[in-house]
Amino acid sequence: MTPPALTRRVLVVDDEELIREVVEVSLASVGGWEVLTASSGEEGLGKAAAAQPDAILLDVMMPGLDGPGTLARLAADPATASIPVVFLSAKVRQSEQQQWVDLGAAGVLVKPFDPMLLATQVAEVLGW
């Protein structure tokens, strides 16, 4: 008998409601993952600490606490420091992407993305 597939829990933090919805549907329906969402860095910090997701998809540019600031606070908190973070960004310059990886991100995925491929891309970045 084959063991059941591991269900992953992913937190999506993005200030754009439509992006959150597309990512949620994509990861849930294509990837079969449980998806939590947050509309700001502050909200994401609280949900990450409470839910302990397997990974966080984090928008780079958000009002208030931006993606890099959120990542720094996640990394500084022992409760969330080990959760891998993948940035979602419309910025495609390699130098910027390398900066985010240097800050501790597991990787960077570029917007716009193909919803049918997103779960596979996230899994590849995280080595799932």
CATH at residue 57: 3.40.50.2300
**Dist CA 22 CA 118 (whole Å):** 10
Residue 4 maps to a domain: no
The whole-number pLDDT of residue 5 equals 54
Q: How far apart are CA 13 and CA 88, in angstroms?
A: 9
Q: Looking at residue 21, what is its pLDDT?
A: 97
Strand order in the sheet with 34-38: 34-38, 9-13, 55-59, 85-89, 107-110
- Domain span at residue 37? 9-126
The one-letter code for the residue type at 46 is G
Per-residue confidence in pLDDT tens, the chain, 128 aa: 444 456 899 999 999 999 999 999 999 999 999 999 999 999 999 999 999 999 999 999 999 999 999 999 999 999 999 999 999 988 767 778 888 888 899 999 999 999 999 999 999 999 99
The residue written with tokens 């990787």 in the block is 107
How many domains does the chain divide into? 1
Question: What residues are paired with 35 via a beta bridge?
Answer: 10
CB 123 within 8 A of CB 54: no
The pLDDT assigned to 2 comes to 42
pTM above 0.95, yes or no: no
- 46 in a domain, yes or no? yes
Q: Is residue 114 part of a domain?
A: yes
Give yes or no for a cis peptide into 112 (omega within 30° of 0).
Answer: yes
